Structure 1
Amino acid sequence: MSENYNYQLTVDKVLEYGERVYPDREIVYRDKRRYTFESFGRKVRNLAGGLQRLGVKPGDKVGVIDWDTDVYLMSYYAIPMMGAMLHTVNVRYPPELIVKTILHAEDKWLIVRDEFLPLIEKAGNYLNNVKIIAYSDENKVKYPDVMELINNDDNQFQQQEISENTPATIFYTSGTTGEPKGVWFTHRDLILHAMSCSIAAAKPPISATPEDVYLILVPLFHVHQWGYPYLFMLGGNKYVLPGRYDPTIELNLMKNEGVTFSAMVPTILYMILSHPDAPKYSEVFKNWRVLIGGAALPKGLADTARKFGITVMAGYGLSETAPVLTISYYNSKVEKLPDEKKFEQQIKTGVPIPLVELRVVDPEFKDVPHDGNTIGEIVVRAPWLTREYYKDPEKTKRLWSGGWLHTGDLAVVDEYGYIRIVDRDKDAIKSGGEFIPSLLLEDVISSHPKIGQVAVVGMPDEKWGERPVAFIVLKDKMTEEELKNYLMQKAEEGKIRKWWIPDKFVFLSDLPKTSTNKIDKKSLRDIIKAK
């Protein structure tokens, strides 16, 4: 009988590699706490052992409600290593949706930062079966304390070997329906994704090396922070955690910690570059490379960054794809081009990273020509894509129609093989890198007794990428101010977020319809363009 060992791709292997090869590399959380990779690994196992002692079992779902902190980063390892499932709860959802996703995921435990405890306690009647663990950077908490678990070296983690096919993470995304949809991933998915991203990151213009210092300004609750919680450990990179985002703090961290690489949505870069102190950091910016995702990288913003001496490039992916599919690194054709031509390519959507099969197809599912003009839908295959929408077979069937994952994103392919997204087959509005679900917003607006019909579409915005515009048919007279006050009330009730409230309301006698009598949102967007 063979005694070959069946090696499993699990996240603990990533942690062990970082500890062994880069034991003195640092992880920094603001000015509050810092660790070497070696001490970080010990704290992770303390946390895992402490959670075991409290009763967390393999298969349990453990939600985390926090900003980008050391505690959250430890959870990315400790919870999956136990055979449990990490639920990265989106704190930017309205309270009602936060509770809904916790219930839908069937979380048994919640790790909660103190400032979010009132939200969870208010929903206590709905969350009676969820056990709370909490922590604070300054104060004592009345629940089992996460920091005590982390700092207790007597917490002996009883690690058992688990299958690489064990579910490791789950989170929720709002798409075309406006309702949260759960996507989940296994250990194997996460490791293969991280390894492929590592290969792509070594290529120019990113050209990552172990000497790079990372400050990732993508929330840890958002699509695995684009894979960086595992990437930095594989790459041996010093990792800087900013907590709750604040451009002033981020600039100081960049200077004080020697940051050389970041990833973020365009709005965050805009906020940093438009900060009144930005010119003082010109020397820091000259060594800074920035990967932009979550929304298209506007050329104007890219030009502004380039004037600061910053190297910018684009990437692309979805919640359903873990997320990375493409990065605008140089392929063999583009690396031979003049610098200006290279710049044009690196701010496009990019080329697939290793192991991604990506096609842009026409309605007959044939690949579009690489002419930079013919539009098709992006469909993909890769070894780390979500298998399903959690507990939603109907939407899963549509997602995987024909054996390819349908992104709903419309794009062209140029002569060099680079993808450029030109539109989205989605009505969810991307504002500041986060979706504003149009159907959910429409539902709340339509609940006003004076509203007859409503349709919400996105309007281009220099700062936020897009902002919502509401087209409304009234049943009775009302003012824009009256409607805004109504929506503010709904925001206070937790039905929507305040920043979802449209910047503009357009009152019409009727809404344009398609041939199937649906509201024609394309025509509404044309109205915006014409104004």
Structure 2
Amino acid sequence: MPGGAPQTLRPFLSRAEQLYPETEIVSRTHEGVVRYDYGEYADRTAQLANALDEAGYGDGERLATFCWNHHRHFETYFGVSGMGAQLHTINPLLPDKHVQYIADDADDRLVFVDQSFLPKLEGAVDGDPDSFGSVDRYVVMGESVPETDLDAVAYESFVEGQPTSYDWPTVEEERPAGLCYTSGTTGQPKGVEYTQQMLWAHTMALQTPQALPLSDDDVAMPVVPMFHVNAWGLPFSATAGGAKHVYPGPQPEPADLARLIEEEGVTLTAGVPTVWLGLMEYVKEHDVDLSSLERLVVGGSAAPEAMIRFFDDRDVELVHAWGMTETAPVGSVAHVKADLRDADYETRLQKRTKQGLIVPGLEFRVVDDGGDPVPHDGESFGELLVRGPWVTTEYFARPDASEAEFTDGYLRTGDIVTVDEDGYLQIVDRAKDVIKSGGEWISSQELENELMAHDAVAEAAVIGVPHERWQERPLALVVPTDDADTDTLDETLRDYIGSEYPTWWVPDNVVVIDEVPKTATGKFDKKALREEYAEESLVEGRVPDDAAPE
């Protein structure tokens, strides 16, 4: 083999153990804050691997987690993959029917489960006796097991007394190391397998300057769940760089995140926009020291411009990124190119609000409905296609889905994007969320960002509702701020959008709601909104005569 060794995850941990044995790993758990170092972490991953061996779990078997972000979950990342097994991270926030389907489809042998998720898992197991049939053991992530009907053992009892050394095998780089399922918002979830080589390549790409590099002077806090595409790969890249880890534990509130940033000196953290909207409100009302924080990574959905400005004002760089479960997940990062760094703030900000530049190692195309390339002019829409060493080329046990979503080796992302003259991608919408008025596209995402930039709006979602003449028209659903005048909000926001966009982009109605429903990964649940508001009547006289350009 070229280079003499396979491209696997194991060398990332062995390097950290050798060079940074005293660098800390800090974890907020239901038992309190736990802290230890890489040296002790390496010992415990060896104990875990020995315990799994002794229990009869071996090469190629799928072992699942049902957990928040904490040190024990992190131990499975290297302990399971290092012995040649496959780590399957299950999203505990999914509906029971999806959890049941996923466990059955993956044929999991063992499930690591948090105490707080035990009732949820019990409900999923009891709800369908045909699911979880392959699972013969449950390991509760803690020092004891609450009362349960499951055949469960405490994690600490499971690893206790095991040797702190392990004869780690030489694992083939094509061996599956991870498995993660899509959220299944438009059908049954689809499994995406990650080989050792895919995760190695993704980690190396993250460590390039044009991605999200972590070094030995960084303190990384992944708020994005570890059950969601490996916390965007940060546990692996933090280990590769010898960085300090901070895990926020179960259901962290903004106060928990602020405290960890202050007390642990966090330099980089990452999560979806809703997390940072909560932190923003907390920072406004409390004296929070963000001086250690250098980079705040946002993905999952677009970061509002107001959010970028908020953190810029506090000397925190908000880094916009894009990815998918199928891309392991990071695909682009919105860094400012060298020839734009001397541009004025507004120009640089305009680039940073986009999803950014494809990271080194990936290739992309943007094509129209006929498969032809669209010009990189910042205006022409098309579907984004990507391929590369860490992009999947098929779905786990789903040849039907694979045929529909891959073409010429490229993944069809389903994201409708523009590419500007500098190469910056901007997601206009998901293919299923874009609004077609008179055959022309309206970006629901762009309208949402514009609405959320208004001082009276805390959150906003825009969906298309059926229209007899124009096919679809935009409907805005907004959560107002506490001091907003809801009596005039409809007129205020429509005028606000109308001042920046053509009249046919202006929502025909603005509906005030208590909250925007979220998916299990924290994104706006457009499917639920479309179902609830499909029959929403548009205000008479609001639909313009030019609801699409002629």
> TM-score range, shorter-chain basis?
0.7 to 0.9
Aligned to 1:91: 92
Give the gaps of 5 or more residues in structure 1.
430-456, 473-490, 512-524
Aligned to 2:9: 11
Q: How many pairs are equivalent?
A: 461
Q: Tell me which of 338, 356, 361 is aligned to 1:355.
A: 361
* 1:485-505 CA distance string (max 9 Å, x none): xxxxxx9xx9xx998864994
When the two chains are superposed, the root-mean-square deviation of aligned CA atoms in Å is 3.4
Aligned to 1:249: 256
* 1:357-416 CA distance string (max 9 Å, x none): 122223343432221111111111111111211111121012212321111111111121
Written as runs of structure 1 = structure 2, the 5 A alignment for 1:89-488 is: 89-122=90-123, 123-124=125-126, 125-126=129-130, 127-137=132-142, 139-140=144-145, 143-154=152-163, 157-174=166-183, 177-200=186-209, 208-244=214-250, 245-275=252-282, 279-281=286-288, 283-285=289-291, 287-427=293-433, 460=448, 462=452, 463=458, 466=461
Written as runs of structure 1 = structure 2, the 5 A alignment for 1:25-104 is: 25-30=23-28, 31-104=32-105
The CA deviation at 1:213 is 1.0
Aligned to 1:24: 22
The CA deviation at 1:278 is 5.1
Alpha-carbon distance change, 365 to 333 in structure 1, aligned in 2, over 3 angstroms:
farther
Aligned to 1:516: none
**C-alpha distance in 2, partners of 1:468/1:115?**
35
The CA deviation at 1:333 is 2.5
Question: Any idea what SS the aligned residue of 1:159 has?
Answer: coil
**C-alpha distance in 1, partners of 2:63/2:10?**
17
| TM-score (structure 2 length as normaliser) | 0.76
**C-alpha distance in 2, partners of 1:121/1:279?**
39
* 1:31-83 CA distance string (max 9 Å, x none): 52112111111111111111111111111111101110111111111111111
**C-alpha distance in 2, partners of 1:315/1:22?**
29
Say if 1:361 and 1:367, in contact at 8 Å, map to a contact too: yes
Give the gaps of 5 or more residues in structure 2.
436-443, 453-457, 468-516
Deviates more, 1:270-279 or 1:236-245: 270-279
Question: Any idea what SS the aligned residue of 1:274 has?
Answer: helix
Residue type at the aligned position of 2:169: Q
Higher helix share: 1
Question: Any idea what SS the aligned residue of 2:203 has?
Answer: helix
Say if 2:179 and 2:194, in contact at 8 Å, map to a contact too: yes
* 1:262-298 CA distance string (max 9 Å, x none): 11111111011112665411x3157431111110111
Question: Any idea what SS the aligned residue of 1:371 has?
Answer: coil
**C-alpha distance in 2, partners of 1:319/1:509?**
33
The CA deviation at 1:159 is 2.3
Identity of aligned residues (%): 29
Bigger relative CO (Cα 8 Å, ≥ 6 apart)? 1
Alpha-carbon distance change, 155 to 237 in structure 1, aligned in 2, over 3 angstroms:
closer
The CA deviation at 1:337 is 2.5
The CA deviation at 1:428 is 11
Say if 1:114 and 1:134, in contact at 8 Å, map to a contact too: no
**C-alpha distance in 2, partners of 1:506/1:87?**
36
Residue type at the aligned position of 1:115: S
Question: Any idea what SS the aligned residue of 2:282 has?
Answer: coil
Say if 1:50 and 1:157, in contact at 8 Å, map to a contact too: no
Alpha-carbon distance change, 265 to 119 in structure 1, aligned in 2, over 3 angstroms:
closer
Residue type at the aligned position of 2:46: R
